[in-house]
Amino acid sequence: MYALRTLRSQPVRLLLTVGGVALCIILMLFLLAVYRGAADGSVDYIRRNKADLWVLQRNATNILRGSSLVSAAQGERIAAVQGVGSVSPVLFLLSTVKKGGNVRTIFLTGFEPDSGLGGPPQLVQGRNIRRDDEIVLDKSFAQKFKFEVGDEVNLQGRRLKVVGISGWTNAFVIQYAFVTLRFARDLIGFPSLATCFLVRVREGADLGGVQARIREELPGLEVYDHPTFLQNNIQEMKSGFLPLLYTVAAIGAVVLTVILSLLLSVNILERRKDFAILKTIGSPPAFLWGMVIKQAVLISSASSLAALAAFFPLVRLIERVSPEVSTKSTFGQIASVVLAVGVMSLLSSGISIRRLRRIYFLEAFR
């Protein structure tokens, strides 16, 4: 009762504190949601690909932050390996699209439309490419830069017609765009190069056996099964994003702790006479600590509720303004943030409680 009434006696301060703490919580929730969205979204193209094996240049582990070059001749040798059903070369390039004087970067994916491998995992609008002068753009890229099916795209000086819009192709910092392999090769001027080969094994063939045989016959290449390759790419995203996002989230947690500690400390200092009286009339230390902890819990609970109420509408708004930002929130993430807030509020209480020791009995007699 005392804890709540003391907080309520300064409504503006309470409101500012709850607001500040809530913003820190929103920041932490948002960063985790961005992380989850980016970590999942950036590998959706790979996850939804139907390739059994991914074959890359030696020492290449992923396509997101690594380079790999393989030749058409190597593709032909792979196709000849026992158990291999089909081999589809795919060429990934960083390219630029011009619109109204602005240049946007895309992750251009050249694939063979007839192979059924390497193309857009989902078409949300229009159709897949059939010809070299056609392109499929990612949904969030198209939304953000106002491209629609039927529009013309200026890609490094070449004109392509947008025939489709794809889903699961937003890699957070960059978005996929799909063209024919021939067009992509022509763009770089090397007609037999690819980044990797997507291999399907024959029905009934032993995947591990095929993998081993490719490795044996083409020792200069890396051969990954689908789960391993997916994991490699997830790991690559995590190692790139995670430290940065976690650092910012940790800063949010520190700011939260500082705000809460400041409020609790100011409350103690303002009410030091009350604390001196309570000490004098026989309050056990635990009772005084309990009052400070209750205040911290009340503020962090109110802030958590406010943050949760504001978080989802805010995320929707951000995704509308910046479609390339894809977020994903899970119950586990929210629970872990709320748990972290609980720990931070206890930590803040601990910092503030130290002030109680410097309140003396005699202050009640002044």
Partner 1 sequence: MNGWNDQSPAACCEGLSKIFGANEHQTAAVRDVTFQAFPGELILLLGPSGSGKTTLLTLIAGLSRPTSGRVLLFGKDIESYASRELQRVRAHRVGFIFQTFLLIDSLTALENVEIVLRFNGRKTSERRKRARELLRQFGIEHLAAKFPQTMSQGEKQRVAVARAIGNDAALIIADEPTGSLETKQGFGIIELLRRLAKEQGKCVVVASHDLRLRDFADRIFRIEDGRLLPESS
Smaller CB separation from partner 1, 206 or 270: 270
From 212, 302, 308, 364, residue interacting with partner 1 (rule: CB under 8 A): 364
Please tell me whether residue 280 binds partner 1 under the rule CB under 8 A. Answer: yes
Radius of gyration of the chain (CA): 29
From 12, 73, 281, 321, residue interacting with partner 1 (rule: CB under 8 A): 281
Choose the stretch contacting partner 1; rule: CB under 8 A; options: 46-54, 98-106, 280-288, 293-301: 280-288
Please tell me whether residue 12 binds partner 1 under the rule CB under 8 A. Answer: no
Q: Count CB-CB contacts under 10 A for residue 287.
A: 12
Please tell me whether residue 283 binds partner 1 under the rule CB under 8 A. Answer: yes
Residue 48 is encoded by which pair of tokens?
A: 């939804």
From 189, 282, 313, 357, residue interacting with partner 1 (rule: CB under 8 A): 282
Residue 43 is encoded by which pair of tokens?
A: 């590998």
Choose the stretch contacting partner 1; rule: CB under 8 A; options: 175-183, 238-246, 276-284, 330-338: 276-284
Of 247, 249, 263, nearest in space to 19 by CA: 263
Choose the stretch contacting partner 1; rule: CB under 8 A; options: 4-12, 106-114, 153-161, 307-315: 4-12
Please name the helix (run of DSSP H) or strand (run of DSSP E) that holds residue 276, with its range, or none.
Answer: helix 272-280
Please tell me whether residue 356 binds partner 1 under the rule CB under 8 A. Answer: no
Please tell me whether residue 190 binds partner 1 under the rule CB under 8 A. Answer: no
Which residue do the tokens 């753009």 mark? 137
Please tell me whether residue 269 binds partner 1 under the rule CB under 8 A. Answer: no
- In whole angstroms, the minimum distance from the beta carbon of 287 to partner 1 comes to 7
- In whole angstroms, the minimum distance from the beta carbon of 363 to partner 1 comes to 10
Residue 346 is encoded by which pair of tokens?
A: 């206890």
Smaller CB separation from partner 1, 6 or 232: 6
- Number of helices (H) and strands (E), helices first, in the chain? 11, 12
**What is the number of alpha carbons within 13 Å of residue 72 lying toward its C-beta?**
8
Of residues 99-138, those binding partner 1 (CB under 8 A): none
DSSP, collapsed to helix, strand or coil, labels residue 291 as helix
Smaller CB separation from partner 1, 11 or 313: 11
Please tell me whether residue 362 binds partner 1 under the rule CB under 8 A. Answer: yes
Please tell me whether residue 2 binds partner 1 under the rule CB under 8 A. Answer: yes
d(CA 169, CA 42): 7
From 287, 316, 317, 335, residue interacting with partner 1 (rule: CB under 8 A): 287
Choose the stretch contacting partner 1; rule: CB under 8 A; options: 90-98, 134-142, 275-283, 335-343: 275-283
Smaller CB separation from partner 1, 5 or 358: 5
Please name the helix (run of DSSP H) or strand (run of DSSP E) that holds residue 287, with its range, or none.
Answer: helix 285-321
- In whole angstroms, the minimum distance from the beta carbon of 341 to partner 1 comes to 26
Of 18, 38, 37, 29, nearest in space to 249 by CA: 29
Q: Count CB-CB contacts under 10 A for residue 231.
A: 16
Which residues contact residue 338 at a Cβ distance below 8 angstroms, ignoring those fewer than 6 apart?
A: 304
- In whole angstroms, the minimum distance from the beta carbon of 350 to partner 1 comes to 20
d(CA 365, CA 273): 9
**Pairing mode, strands 102-111 and 122-126:** unpaired
Q: Count CB-CB contacts under 10 A for residue 366.
A: 7
**What is the number of alpha carbons within 13 Å of residue 322 lying toward its C-beta?**
11
Tell me which residues touch partner 1 (CB under 8 A): 1-2, 5-6, 9, 273-274, 277-278, 280-285, 287, 361-362, 364-365
